Structure formats: C-alpha cells, structure tokens
Chains A and B, each alone.
Chain A
Amino acid sequence: MADIIQIVVLGLALGGVYALMGSGLSLVFGVMRIVNLAHPSLIMGGAYVAYWGFRLYGVDPLIALPVAAIILAATGVLLYKLIFEREAKSAKYSEMTVLLTFAIAMIVEGGLATAFTNTQRVTSPGYATDAFFIGSVFIPKGQLYAGMVSLALIAALALFLKYSRFGYAIRATTQNREAAELMGVNVNMVGLVSFAIGIGLAGAAGALVSFVFSFFPSKHWEWVAVLMSLVVLGGMGSILGTVVAAYVLSVLAAFVGYFFGATWSVLTFYLALFVVLLVRPQGLFGEKPEMA
C-alpha cells in the first residue's frame, strides 16, 4: 500500500511541473492557434535566467521566478512583433506557425548554446534534493514547491481568462478574429498580450524546472513531444485539460515505470495519446469539432 501511495505521490509531484510547462503552450495555442514548438526552448531560457541568478547572486529560483517570467514575456513581445504580427493575416497561418516556431526553437537553442555553452546546468537550492517523510512515504520538496507554485499560477491565469474584460477579448479573438475586430477588440493587442503571457509562463516554468531537472540548451527536444502530448490529450487549447492530463499521465507513467520498467514509462505519454485520439479525437476536454 505504501508503495502505491508513494508512486501516486511521485507521479503527482512530477505532474505539477509538467502542468505549468504545458499550460503556457496551451494558452498560446488556444488564443493564437500557434503550436509553439519553441515553448520548451523558451522554458530553457527561463531556466538559464534562474541558473545565473542562483550562481552569481545566490538567488533562490523561486524568487528569481518573476524575473524569469518578465524577461521571457519581453522576449515574447519581441517575437510577436517580429514574426507573428505579420503571420496573423496569412491564410496558411496555423501550419506556418508550426514551422516558424520550430525555427525559433533552433535560434533559441543555438543562441543559448553560444552564450552559455552546452554544459549541463542545474540549480541546487537546499530543498531541491530534500524531501518530507510521512512514515515511509516521502514527498520531494523541490517538486512539491514547484507543483504548488505552478498550480497557483495556473489558477490565477484561469481566473484572469474567465472574469477579466481582457479575458473576454482573448476568448472572442480565439473564436473569430474578424468578428472580434468588429466588436471593437484590438485583436493585435490581444494577440500580443496573450503571447507575452504564454511565454512569460514558459519563463516561470523555466525557473521551476531549473531545480527539478538538469538542463542544457539542446535538451528541449526531449520535452517537446511529452508536452505536446499533454496538450493534445487535454484537448488543444484547454488549459484545464492540459493540467488534468499532466497529472493523470504522470501518475500513470509512474505506475507503468514501477510495474513494467522505467523504459516503458515514457511510452505511457505517447500510447495514452493514441488511445485517447482513437476514442475521443478532440482530447479529454476539447470541444467536439463542428460539422456542417
């Protein structure tokens, strides 16, 4: 029994981190229809901000988090202005963005590697390698804190989207850009702000990741497929779905790893994706595509 609890705890702990990593991706897709393959590489950027804060000034990554978020959000603004503002008008928009963000991922990776070398990094605040023990069950502190911070951020985001006037504008733009424009929404601004928020979340996730995983510039490829699976599984653009998928799958993967071996735990994410797509093509929380 303790084993089972332990596995669930570990799954949940990892799930919290994935949830934040995936939610920015989900937001950007939801609002902008951008499948942001560069998201993981931008998370990496956030992780480097936290790393240098820790290394040079001994700043705790949790404190560096807002800084990382702001720096990355600014990067988001820049990217949007340079690239996506023009693209928004293109008919080939959604497939173009897949490739453009792929290109951005390469640029970010190359940039980070040039600036910081390809050496692996990790920040080591005391809690990163500590745990609470409850009986024989332990809860890793690092992941626990990361999970709690990420849940708080996601909740704040959800409330913002649901109740603020700007949140309304974001949703309207998501559904019908032209109509939103006609209703007096400055759609360009909406795109800009939501993109900045999404990338800012990547920055925040980066700060958390910096003490949960070790990282180096090209590592983001390892995250892409997992994060994307979560987003698709949850239903493209549904942040709630992404969060749920992150938790459910992490726990599931922990079980698979425990019973069938670590090799197969990664497979859980992809197989689950296929099964879900077979039974429910729109994902767990996605809306049914409209017909006729």
Chain B
Amino acid sequence: MLEVKNMSKRFGGIRAVDDCSFTVRKGEITALIGPNGAGKTTAFNCISRTMAPTSGEVWLDGERIDGLRPHQITRRGLSRTFQISRNLADMTVLENVICQSRTEGWRDMFRPALSEAEIAKAMGILDFLGITRIAQEDGSNLSYGQKKLMDLAALLMSDPKIILLDEPAGGVNPTLLEEIVGHIRELNAKGLTVLIVEHNMELIMRLSDRVVVMAQGTVIAEGTPEEVRADPAVLDAYLGGVLEAEE
C-alpha cells in the first residue's frame, strides 16, 4: 500500500536517511524501529512531505506522492503524528481535533465548523481516549501525555486509510496505553493500515505484523517480530540485549 523506494535525505553532511526502501502492506500493522538517530522520524517527514527528500520515491496505493504537498497527502488518506507533539495554542482541544476533519470544496469551507455532527464525532473520539474533560481546555495547556492523546484523536478525525504514528506510547501511562493498543487493533481490524515508530519493544512485539529495522538511515532487517528479534544485527544495533532481561 505504501512503498518507499530508495529514499535519501541529507542535512549538510549528515545522511539522515540513506537509500532506504521498505513497503507497508495494506491492512497490516508495520513497525519501524531502530536506534536513536536512525532516521525514522526523518523518513516519516519525507513520506508526509513535511520535508522534501533529497532523492527517492514514495508510492501510496499505486500513486506516486512524493511530489505532492503535505495537505494533499493527508487528503489521500495518509495521516501522521509528530514525535514532539504539535498542537494549536489558543484553540480548545475540541477545535484542535475538529480542525483535522476533512473539508471538501468551497461550500464545505464556509460551512460552520463546529456543527453538531462534527462535535459528536470529535467528542466520541475524545471520550474513547479518556480525555473528554479537557475538551474545552486550551490546546497548549496540556500535560505531555495529554498532548499525545490529543494528537491521536485529531488523527482519527480525518478518517485516514493509513496512519503513521511517531512514538505514540512515549509518555503515556501504561494503563491507558493498554486501551490505546486495543483501539489501534480494533481500527486495524476494520482495515486501517498502520506504520508505527516505537521504542517500547514489548508493545511492538504484541502489536505489529511486520517489523522494519532501520539503522544509520538504511533498512538493516525486515520480517516478523520474532525473526527480527532473533536477528543478531538488530540485537547489536538496537536492543543491546535488553530483551532477555524483559522476559
């Protein structure tokens, strides 16, 4: 469904992403893991076109999208969250979320934004994530975890076909995380494709169908969670023998 071909991104001398290729299959949960600075976030940025890749191609559903602008990509059903959550100050959480809902054409643009239907939908999502109480709170006055959750809520608002999550579990309370995991599963079951970056290995192991491992900008391994975990290169570059301790 999503295919990244030979993508590279350089910052001056640093090759953040270096000739990286991988695919995300429809209906699967794919995890992208790798040590810090491997280029995962940069890869996300290049896919969603928040940054322009230096070279390479990105295909979504058989259509090349690396020339499009970010909003066009979003409108084609690919939504992402940010590792360091970005939220809109001076707008309530509700508005933050509704802001992400789709707008089609001129007439829709000038229709009232906070319509009953939109509010109901947004509140439903907030409720599910357990943050109803902050619906009227200013988007910038949130705790770290709350911001992450709000991001996720906003993401769901746009009815995406594929979502790119950049460390959704970071800073989220384990109890709540369980619920989120459950929900991602549920969405996935309904056909949503997920690409997720995470350092929480335990979560990755439980959640993902396939794992892509990046290091120094390139893909060094790919396969099912079990395969990847057994891969010595991955152990060396990333896990550092922690997993054994977890068990």
Contact = CB atoms under 8 A, between A and B. Distances in A.
Contacts, number: 10
Interface string B42-86: 000100001100000000000000000000000000000010000
Contacts of A292: 41, 45, 50-51, 82
Interface residues of B, number: 7
A287 to B, nearest CB: 12
Interface residues of A, number: 3
A1 interface: no
Contacts of B89: 91
Interface in A205-252: none
A91 B88 CA distance: 13
Contacts of B45: 291-292
**At the interface, is chain A mostly helix, strand, loop or mixed?**
loop
**At the interface, is chain B mostly helix, strand, loop or mixed?**
loop
Nearest to A91: B89
Contacts of A91: 89, 140
A26 B50 CA distance: 30
Contacts of A291: 45, 50-51
A91 B45 CA distance: 28
B87 to A, nearest CB: 14
A201 B50 CA distance: 41
Interface in A255-292: 291-292
A43 B167 CA distance: 52
A291 B51 CA distance: 7
A292 B42 CA distance: 9
A292 B164 CA distance: 14
A174 B64 CA distance: 42
A233 to B, nearest CB: 24
Interface of A: 91, 291-292
Given A291-B45, A292-B45, A292-B82, 7 more contacts: A91-B89, A91-B140, A291-B50, A291-B51, A292-B41, A292-B50, A292-B51
